[in-house]
Amino acid sequence: MTTAPGSLRPARPRTGWKALIAVVVIAGITVWSAFAVQVDVGALFANAQNASNTFIQLFQPDYSFFPETLPALLQTIQMAVIATAVSVVIALPLSFLASRATNPNGPVLGVVRFVMNIVRSVPDLLYASLFVTVVGTGALSGILALVLFNVGILVKLVSEALDGLDRGGQEAALASGATWFRANRAAMVPEVAPTYLSQTIYVLELNIRASTVIGLVGAGGLGMLIDKVRTFYQYHYLSMIILEVLVLVVLLELLSSFARRRLLR
């Protein structure tokens, strides 16, 4: 069977007017937002001299300040490790309750997901501010804030990983008469363990950065020291702290990459 010439016509190219309208709308919203928040671009040029002096100091870290930062640096690491350890223990059962693959109880599944969505939607800085008000300044408020922040992230990531796993072993265990708990423990826990470990290292990285930020509201760690030196415009000290955080995060990233490579073997 032959096709008559001209019966197969090339598809008409899509017009770009929809994309153009989208670009115009986004640009309009951006300009409106800039005027609404009173963005003063001229201030960048008016304060150029002050900005240049500040950046010069930031690029001249005072290494003699390093010994004074060690207690706060150690506290930051301790906060991150404690918060990660606690959140890992809490998030594991919640992850199984939040996954359709491991929780057949619809109402419980819906409640857990709803609560975790609320927990995850609150910024860590707001958690820190609330706990500083409740328990006072210091590491405890920071740890509590990080735990809530971590649990929300871990439950989402791990429950989604569980949803995508092969359920052959679980179905075989259920068919042989095992309960959902035993089937999940025997078949799903070993499958999700590498992902869980990888996400744990990722959360530890987040905690190092987050514990520095939440300290600005009094939740312990390097953030409190940053707030102190920033108040007195001691930017050469501030740059030393920033350098420490940068080195720490890079080391954790290298450790994370090494661990992931080992897990994939």
Query: What are the extents of the domains in the chain?
Result: 65-262
Helices and strands counted in the chain (H then E): 12, 0
Candidate from 11-15, 71-75, 165-169, 176-180 with smallest mean pLDDT: 11-15
Contacts of 72 (CB under 8 A, 6+ apart): 215, 221, 222, 224, 225
Name the token pair of 123: 């910024």
Q: Please tell me the distance from the alpha carbon of residue 132 to that of residue 218, in angstroms, as a whole number.
A: 7
Q: Which stretch of DSSP H or E encloses residue 231?
A: helix 222-231
- Place 148 in a pLDDT band, splitting at 50, 70 and 90: very high
Q: Which helix (H) or strand (E) holds 77?
A: helix 66-97
217 band by pLDDT with thresholds 50, 70 and 90 = confident
Does 5 have pLDDT greater than 60? no
Q: What is the pTM of this model?
A: 0.78
**pLDDT average, residue stretch 29-58:** 79
Backbone angles phi, psi at 58, to 5 degrees: -65, -25
Q: Is the pLDDT of residue 113 over 90?
A: yes
Q: What is the mean pLDDT of residues 227-241?
A: 86
- Token code pair at residue 108: 């419980």
Q: Read off the DSSP letter of residue 3.
A: P
The percent of residues in the chain predicted with pLDDT above 70, rounded, is: 92
Q: What is the mean pLDDT of the chain?
A: 85
pLDDT of residue 194: 84
| Annotation: CATH topology of 65-262 | MetI-like fold (1.10.3720)
Q: Inform me whether the pLDDT recorded for 110 exceeds 90.
A: yes
**Complete DSSP assignment for 23-59:** HHHHHHHHHHHHHHTT--THHHHHTHHHHHHHHHHHT
Q: Residues 217-235: what's their mean pLDDT?
A: 84
Q: Which two tokens stand for residue 136?
A: 């006072």
Phi, psi of 199 (to 5 degrees): -70, -30
Mean pLDDT of 99-110: 90
Q: What percentage of the chain has pLDDT greater than the value 90? A: 28
Using 50, 70 and 90 to split pLDDT, how confident is the model at 265? low
Q: Which two tokens stand for residue 174?
A: 């259920």
- Give the least confident one: 23-27, 71-75, 142-146, 167-171: 167-171
